[in-house]
């Protein structure tokens, strides 16, 4: 293995120590003497958040999760509960009366999401709806939702990414309707609980080949502690009807998947082959060419896309960027979500559930483009024009929808 790969692997592991700056006084005022509830409390980021909360002296910290007896920081009150059980969740929040809820519970494995779409949708989408309903019933002051960097795709057929993107829209809609003030954060690859590193180590320990999506695959990374601190930053969002999305501004250089594989081989001390096998379901090989706008790229987090960038800015301190504003869901989109909920409650047919979910995803994209700044829509169509001949069918359909809206804007301008 080259010295460069070994150094890159060590740098990757060192990210676990990385932090961002926090406005401590503002957080003490926000969290001190309050009741805080965390779903997914026993997960890696959940435990990191519980540790980060302590210095701000909350009156009570309540954790919720599926684990039976998780090891959590002292004085954390814990309830074993599945967020897919809306009645039980609402009953718990009515008893606890939290001032602030951090919603981290999710099915987070993209590969598993393709094999178990119904499980992922009922957990990540319907479970999020249950959390929103429970918070509203309990009079919770604010919800902070943990999303994923994969949700920056304008549309995707990948179930996990689309489930988290849909969750963002549910939180935004609840805020816009005055039901519950809400904000969201986007995490990228978290080193502390990395699925890919766990797989590499497992394969290596068994003497199996390490399988890569691609030789040139790279990705951004962050630490569990940074993730927890990002959640705290989002908790300072004004409790109003405006949805705000937060992401870490500087995620450093992307990490090479090949360097990570070679580093794992060196770490484990076993000579195993490394093979490129292509992209498995749930992972996107190439991003949509209009995902980023060069007019904004470099000045904002890479987890904020071209539609969101015009309404984004850096928070004080410069470690976190915030993109604000999403329109309320239309009655048609809300009906589509209700249809999905009914179907999940009465059907186990994966293809049927995925079909309804996919239609909702396209509807959300159409809604997002309709609510975007007209100049942004036009810029995206200009940026993507040179790439249309080589686009995948999915990306071409996305691009066609942008062009349809751009043409409507042109016609509306001519009419005026």
Q: What is the mean pLDDT of residues 154-174?
A: 97
pLDDT at 284: 84
pLDDT at 270: 84
User: Would you tell me how many other CB atoms lie within 10 Å of the CB of residue 277?
Assistant: 11
Burial of 212 (C-beta count, 10 Å sphere; 0-12/13-18/19+): buried
pLDDT tens-digit series, residues 349-392: 899 999 999 999 999 999 999 999 899 999 999 999 999 999 99
What is the sign of the dihedral through the CA atoms of 355, 356, 360 and 361?
negative
Domains of the chain with CATH codes:
3-248 (3.40.50.720), 331-415 (no CATH)
- Percent residues over pLDDT 90 in the chain: 85
pLDDT beyond 70 at 251:
yes
Tokens describing residue 44? 């890696």
pLDDT at 413: 53
- Percent residues over pLDDT 70 in the chain: 98
Question: How many H-runs (helices) and E-runs (strands) does the chain carry?
Answer: 15, 15
- Distance CA(130)–CA(261), nearest Å, equals 39
pLDDT at 411: 65
Tokens describing residue 232? 């705290």
Identify the DSSP state of 245.
Answer: E
pLDDT beyond 50 at 34:
yes
Tokens describing residue 158? 């990948």
pLDDT beyond 80 at 339:
yes
HSE-up of 28 (CA within 13 Å, CB side)?
4
User: Would you tell me how many other CB atoms lie within 10 Å of the CB of residue 178?
Assistant: 11
Q: What is the mean pLDDT of residues 275-303?
A: 89
pLDDT tens-digit series, residues 79-135: 999 999 999 999 999 999 999 999 999 999 999 999 999 999 999 999 999 999 999
- The torsion angles phi and psi of 339, rounded to 5 degrees, stand at -65, -40
In 48-179, DSSP assigns E strands to: 60-65, 77-80, 100-103, 142-148
> CA nearest 77: which of 89, 62, 92?
62
- Distance CA(414)–CA(416), nearest Å, equals 5
pLDDT beyond 50 at 309:
yes
HSE-up of 82 (CA within 13 Å, CB side)?
8
Q: What is the mean pLDDT of residues 403-408?
A: 94
Identify the DSSP state of 242.
Answer: -
pLDDT at 11: 93
pLDDT beyond 50 at 415:
no
pLDDT-derived band of residue 7, with 50, 70 and 90 as boundaries? confident
pLDDT-derived band of residue 416, with 50, 70 and 90 as boundaries? very low
Distances (CA, A) of 41 to 69, 80, 100: 12, 10, 14
Task: For residue 254, list its beta bridge partners.
Answer: none
pLDDT at 1: 52
pLDDT-derived band of residue 412, with 50, 70 and 90 as boundaries? low
pLDDT at 2: 59
- The torsion angles phi and psi of 371, rounded to 5 degrees, stand at -95, 0
pTM of the model: 0.95
Over the chain, what is the mean pLDDT?
93
């Amino acid at each position: 293995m080259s010295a460069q790969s070994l150094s890159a692997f060590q740098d990757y592991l060192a990210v676990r120590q990385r932090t961002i700056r926090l406005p401590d006084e503002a957080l003490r005022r926000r969290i001190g003497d309050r009741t805080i509830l965390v779903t997914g409390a026993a997960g890696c980021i959940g435990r990191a958040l519980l540790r980060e909360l302590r210095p701000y002296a909350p009156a009570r910290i309540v954790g919720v999760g599926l684990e039976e007896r998780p090891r959590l920081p002292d004085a954390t009150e814990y309830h074993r509960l599945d967020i897919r059980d809306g009645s039980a969740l609402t009953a718990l929040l009515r008893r606890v009366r939290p001032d602030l809820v951090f919603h981290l519970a999710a099915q987070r494995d993209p590969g598993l999401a393709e094999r178990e779409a119904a499980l992922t949708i009922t957990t990540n989408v319907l479970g999020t709806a249950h959390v929103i309903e429970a918070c509203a019933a309990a009079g919770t002051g604010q919800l902070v939702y943990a999303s994923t960097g994969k949700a920056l795709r304008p549309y995707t057929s990948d179930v996990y990414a689309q489930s988290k993107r849909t969750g963002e829209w549910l939180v935004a809609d609840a805020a816009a309707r005055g039901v519950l003030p809400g904000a969201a954060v986007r995490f990228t690859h978290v080193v502390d609980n990395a699925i890919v590193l766990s797989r590499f180590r497992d394969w290596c320990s068994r003497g199996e080949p390490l399988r890569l999506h691609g030789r040139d695959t790279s990705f951004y990374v962050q630490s569990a502690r940074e993730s927890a601190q990002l959640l705290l930053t989002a908790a300072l969002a004004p409790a109003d009807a405006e949805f705000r999305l937060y992401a870490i501004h500087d995620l450093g250089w992307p990490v090479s998947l090949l360097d990570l594989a070679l580093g794992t081989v060196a770490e484990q001390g076993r000579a195993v082959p490394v093979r490129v096998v292509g992209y498995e379901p749930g992972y996107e090989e190439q991003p949509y060419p209009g995902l980023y706008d060069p007019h904004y790229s470099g000045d904002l987090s890479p987890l904020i896309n071209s539609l969101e960038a015009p309404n984004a800015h850096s928070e004080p301190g410069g470690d976190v960027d915030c993109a604000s504003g999403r329109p309320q869901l239309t009655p048609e989109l809300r009906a589509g979500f209700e249809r999905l909920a009914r179907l999940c409650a009465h059907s186990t047919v994966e293809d049927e559930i995925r079909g309804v979910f996919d239609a909702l995803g396209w509807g959300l994209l159409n809604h997002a483009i309709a609510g975007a700044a007209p100049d942004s829509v036009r810029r995206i169509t200009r940026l993507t024009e040179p790439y249309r001949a080589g686009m995948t069918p999915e990306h071409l359909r996305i691009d066609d929808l942008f062009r349809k809206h751009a043409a409507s804007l042109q016609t509306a301008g001519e009419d005026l």
